[in-house]
Amino acid sequence: MPMALQQTRALDRHRRILDAALQVFSRRSYRDASVDEIAGASGTSKGGVYFHFPNKEAIFLALLDRTAERLRDKIESALAAHQDPVARADAALLTVLRTFAKHRALARLFMVEALGAGREFHRRMAEIRAEFAAVIQRQLDEAVRQEIIKPIDTEVAARAWFGALNEVITGWVLSGRAEHLEDKYEALRPILMHSVGISDQPRRPNRQ
């Protein structure tokens, strides 16, 4: 079999395993899910799963990294649509919110049901949160540089902004209600803006 075809098939199986793992983890939780179930859902043998991933934790970490990468790409696209640094920070937060609004099971999986996923997962999750908070911090730093906002501790402000959004999403997931997550941003946005000295009225975001 040509090497290129082997690589294509391996990548396809890797993707199918992660897609199946998301379904199984979302339905069963990380703790209760098994590699056997993931193998069955992906149409792959258990040995085929272990060829790509040494254990269940590795599958979960790979799924987390894939989700973070996709979210990162969406944020970069959102940032590119704006010039004003505060608008860019706002767009980054709104992108995170909109992404999880469309994927409630994913939000629940990583924010609520992953408590037993192990030390490595929580270390990686902390790194990802810090990475996304750093995106916000860079925009706030630029806003300070341009004198759009007064000098502040942008690291603390960025973590507070991202943390506030994280709490709103987590609360929405736990509530189980069918309300639109984006509606909550109407109340959250002026609070965030006021925290850095910008007077701003609530707005209803355009749903995508």
pLDDT tens profile 126-181: 899 999 999 999 999 999 999 999 999 999 999 999 999 989 998 888 887 777 78
pLDDT tens profile 42-70: 999 999 999 999 999 999 999 889 989 99
CATH code for the domain defined by 1-54: 1.10.10.60
Q: At 26, is the pLDDT very low, low, confident or very high (cuts 50, 70, 90)? A: confident
d(CA 120, CA 52): 18
d(CA 116, CA 93): 27
- Report CA-CA distances (Å) from 102 to 60, 76, 169, 179, 187: 20, 18, 12, 12, 20
- Is the model's pTM score more than 0.75? yes
d(CA 200, CA 186): 11
What is 60-208's CATH topology? Tetracycline Repressor; domain 2 (1.10.357)
Query: What six digits make up the tokens of 14?
Result: 């890797």
Q: At 7, is the pLDDT very low, low, confident or very high (cuts 50, 70, 90)? A: low
Query: What six digits make up the tokens of 198?
Result: 């910008």
Task: Write out the residue limits of the CATH 1.10.357.10 domain(s) in the chain.
Answer: 60-208
Q: Which residue has the tokens 């075809």?
A: 5
